[in-house]
Structure 1
Amino acid sequence: MNNHQLELAKQLHKDGHLFYCTCGTLPGLLQSMDFSTLKCFPPGQPEKFSAFLDKVVGLQK
């Protein structure tokens, strides 16, 4: 099984939401990172998940 936390960190980095590095690349990242390039994470939409659950358990068509 893969390391899902690492996969998530890499994807969030690719999407521009955070900086990702390894121990070996940390010094270079600390010298070059620019916080202004980070994108805000979009707000959640919990109503979509609750509507999905309602459908699954048969409370909604």
Structure 2
Amino acid sequence: MNNHQLELAKQLHKEGHLFYCTCSTLPGLLQSMDLSTLKCYPPGQPEKFSAFLDKVVGLQK
């Protein structure tokens, strides 16, 4: 429950969207990281979320 930010960072690292490290592994990561290996994160689709909320609160069927 209290480590959701860490869980998100690890998952995004696993998917190739960012580099994840700890304080002790930061120097090594800075020396070895290759920014060209990162994948772009797909753009959001806020219209899908707003349509879902409209259905939940009864504004749309």
User: Does the TM-score normalized on the shorter chain lie above 0.5?
Assistant: yes
Greater fraction of residues in helix: 2
How big is each residue's C-alpha offset from its partner over 1:12-41, in whole Å with a ceiling of 9 and x where there is no partner?
111111100001111111111000000111
Taking the aligned partners of 2:54 and 2:22, their CA distance within structure 1 comes to 41
Give identity over the alignment, percent.
93
Runs of 4+ aligned residues of structure 1 deviating over 3 Å after TM superposition are none
Give TM-score, length-normalised by structure 2.
Answer: 0.92
Give TM-score, length-normalised by structure 1.
Answer: 0.92
Q: Which runs of 5+ in 2 are unaligned?
A: none
SS at match of 2:23: coil
Question: Aligned pairs, how many?
Answer: 61
